[in-house]
C-alpha cells in the first residue's frame, strides 16, 4: 500500500542538535519495463563500537574503491561528566575513531589512527570530488562552551589524517549544516538551518565556493521550526528535501503543542522542480521519527532511514518507488530496536555497496541506562532490496 505524503500540517516538537550529510552517485535512468524492488530485507547487523565507558555518536560513511570507513566521535564518560556540559552533543571531550572494512562490510577493524584512502566514491558527511578526493563540512564547539566558529571545509587526498586543504567558510556561520548531495553537473547542494528556517546553498565542483540559492521560512502559525534535513537530487531538476520539525519555546512557551502522541517527532517534506531554487510548502509525512537520511538507489527507488524516537525506540527504513512522491508503508522495516530506549538514538547514514546491498550506520544505547550521559555505541545494518 502506498501512503500519500501530502497531509495537513499538524503541530510537532523536538529539541536536539547534530549533523549528518549525504552524497549520491546514482543515475536517474532506469528500464521502465522492469519492476522496481518493493521490499527491504536485513542481511546482517553489527555492533561496530561497543565500549561501555564511552559515549559514541554521529557516524559518517566514506566508501572508497578498496575499503569502507565509518568515522565517528567518542567521549570518555568520566571525562564527559567532569566537563559538566548540559548535553553530550556539545562534545567537550570528543575524539575521532574510525572503523574500517576491507572485505565489503563482512568484518571491521577499529582504529584511532586516521586511515589512508584510495579514490572516494561516497562520503555521507560531505562529498566525493572528481579527482578521487573527498571533502567534509565540519564544526566543533570551543571546548567546554556552547560557542562555535563557522563551518570548516576540509579536503582530503589519500589520507584522512590531515586535510590537504582547509578553510573556514563565513557563509556557514550561525547555521547548522545538515545534508549535502551532488548535482548532475558535479556541483553540490547543501541545506542548513537556524531559527529563521532552512537555507539551501550551491557549492562549486571543487567544494570550495558556496552561494545561497533559496530560503524556506518556518510554517506560519505553527509552534515549531524546521531544522535538520536530507536531500535527494534528480537529473531533471527534482529535489526531495525531508526535514525535522523542532518545537519552539518562543512560539509555544507553555508547551501546549508538545503532547505525547501521534504528532510528536514527525518528519516534513518539501519538493523542488528547479534544483532547489524554489520549493513547495512543507507537508507532514505519515512517518513518526527523525532525523532522516535519503539515498537514491541504483534500482530507481529512494531509500529513507530514520530514528523512530518513541517506543519501540528503533532505527527504521522504507522505500519510495516514485522519487519521493509517495512512501510505501508496506516496505518499512526495523533495522534495530533499543529496549529500554529513549530519544537519543539514530542519525543514520547509508551508502549502496558495489553488489547492490546497502550499508546503514547509526548510534544508540549500549546498556539499560538511558540518561544523556549513558553509554552509547555505533551500529551497522546491511540491508537489500527484494521483490517480496
Position 12 scores a pLDDT of 28
Q: What's the Cα-to-Cα distance from 61 to each of 56, 136, 212, 244, 358, rounded to whole Å?
A: 15, 11, 26, 22, 12
Across the chain, mean pLDDT equals 87
Q: What does the alpha-carbon distance between residue 47 and residue 185 come to, in Å, rounded to a whole number?
A: 38
Instruction: Note the pTM of the prediction, 2 decimals.
Output: 0.89
Using H for helix, E for strand and C for coil, what is the string for the chain? CEEECCECCCCCCCCCCCCCCCCCCCCCCCCCCCCCCCEEEEEEEEEEECCCCEEEEEEEEEEECCCEEEEEEEEEHHHHHHHCCCCHHHCCCCEEEEEEECCCCCCCEEECCCCECCCEEEECCEEECCCCCEEEEECCCCCCCCCCCCCEEEEECCECCCCCEEEECHHHCCCEEEEEEECCCCCEEEEEEECCEEEEEEECCCCCCEEEEEEECCCCCCCEEEEEEEEEECCCCCEEEEEEEEECCCCCCCCCCCCCCCCCCEEEEEEECCCCCCCCCCEEEEEECCCEEEEECCCCCEEEEEEECCCCCEEEEEEECCCCCEEEEEEEEEEEECCCCCCCCEEEEEEECCCCCEEEEEEEECCCCCCCCCCEEEEEEEEEEECC
Judge whether residue 344 has pLDDT over 50: yes
Position 235 scores a pLDDT of 97
Q: What does the alpha-carbon distance between residue 203 and residue 221 come to, in Å, rounded to a whole number?
A: 33
Judge whether residue 20 has pLDDT over 80: no
What 167-172 contacts at long range (C-beta under 8 Å, 24+ apart), as own/partner pairs, is 167/208, 169/137, 169/210, 171/201, 171/210, 171/211, 171/212, 172/137, 172/201, 172/210
Q: Give residue-wise pLDDT tens across range 251-301.
A: 777 666 565 544 556 799 999 999 999 999 999 898 888 899 999 999 999
Q: Can you name the residues that pair with 116 across neighbouring β-strands?
A: 159
Judge whether residue 17 has pLDDT over 90: no
Judge whether residue 2 has pLDDT over 70: no
Cis peptide before 312 (omega within 30 of 0): yes
Judge whether residue 45 has pLDDT over 60: yes
Rounded to an integer, the average pLDDT of 326-351 is: 95
Q: How confident is the model at residue 245 (pLDDT cuts 50, 70, 90)?
A: confident
Cell for 307?
Answer: 530514528
Rounded to an integer, the average pLDDT of 365-369 is: 96
- The fraction of the chain above a pLDDT of 90, given in percent, is 70
Q: How confident is the model at residue 28 (pLDDT cuts 50, 70, 90)?
A: low
Position 220 scores a pLDDT of 79
Q: What does the alpha-carbon distance between residue 19 and residue 61 come to, in Å, rounded to a whole number?
A: 13
Position 251 scores a pLDDT of 73
Amino acid at each position: 500500500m502506498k501512503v500519500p505524503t501530502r497531509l495537513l500540517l499538524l503541530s510537532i516538537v523536538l529539541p536536539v542538535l547534530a549533523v549528518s550529510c549525504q552524497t549520491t552517485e546514482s543515475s536517474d535512468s532506469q528500464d521502465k519495463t522492469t519492476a522496481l524492488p518493493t521490499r527491504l530485507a536485513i542481511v546482517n547487523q553489527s555492533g561496530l563500537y561497543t565500549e561501555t565507558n564511552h559515549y559514541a555518536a554521529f557516524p559518517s560513511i566514506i566508501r572508497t574503491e578498496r575499503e569502507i570507513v565509518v568515522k565517528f566521535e567518542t567521549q570518555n564518560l568520566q571525562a564527559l561528566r567532569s566537563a559538566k556540559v548540559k548535553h553530550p552533543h556539545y562534545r567537550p571531550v570528543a575524539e575521532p575513531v574510525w572503523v574500517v572494512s576491507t572485505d565489503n562490510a563482512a568484518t571491521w577493524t577499529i582504529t584511532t589512527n586516521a586511515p589512508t584512502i584510495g579514490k572516494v566514491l561516497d562520503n555521507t558527511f560531505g562529498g566525493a570530488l572528481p579527482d578521487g578526493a573527498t571533502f567534509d563540512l565540519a564544526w566543533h564547539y570551543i571546548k567546554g562552551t556552547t560557542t562555535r566558529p563557522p563551518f570548516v571545509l576540509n579536503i582530503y587526498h589519500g589520507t584522512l589524517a590531515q586535510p590537504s586543504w582547509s578553510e573556514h567558510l563565513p557563509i556557514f556561520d550561525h547555521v547548522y549544516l545538515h545534508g549535502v548531495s551532488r548535482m548532475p553537473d558535479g556541483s553540490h547542494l547543501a541545506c542548513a538551518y537556524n531559527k529563521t528556517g532552512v537555507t539551501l546553498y550551491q557549492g562549486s565542483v571543487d567544494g570550495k565556493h558556496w552561494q545561497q540559492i533559496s530560503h524556506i521560512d518556518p510554517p506560519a502559525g505553527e509552534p515549531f521550526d524546521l531544522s535538520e534535513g536530507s536531500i535527494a537530487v534528480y537529473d531533471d531538476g527534482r529535489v526531495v528535501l525531508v526535514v525535522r520539525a523542532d518545537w519552539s519555546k518562543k512560539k509555544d512557551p507553555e508547551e501546549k503543542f508538545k503532547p505525547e502522541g501521534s504528532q510528536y517527532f514527525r518528519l516534513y517534506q518539501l519538493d523542488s522542480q528547479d534544483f532547489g531554487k524554489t520549493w513547495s510548502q512543507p507537508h507532514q509525512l505519515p512517518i513518526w521519527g527523525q532525523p532522516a537520511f535519503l539515498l537514491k538507489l541504483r534500482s530507481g527507488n529512494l531509500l529513507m532511514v530514520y530514528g523512530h524516537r518513541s517506543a519501540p525506540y528503533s532505527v527504521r527504513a522504507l522505500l519510495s518507488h516514485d522519487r519521493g512522491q509517495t512512501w510505501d508503508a508496506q516496505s518499512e522495516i526495523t533495522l534495530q530496536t533499543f529496549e529500554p530506549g529513549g530519544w537519543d538514538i539514530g542519525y543514520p547514514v547509508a551508502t549502496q555497496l558495489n553488489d547492490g546491498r546497502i550499508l546503514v550506520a547509526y548510534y544508540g544505547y549500549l546498556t539499560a541506562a538511558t540518561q544523556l550521559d549513558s553509554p552509547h555505541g555505533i551500529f551497522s545494518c546491511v540491508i537489500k532490496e527484494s521483490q517480496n
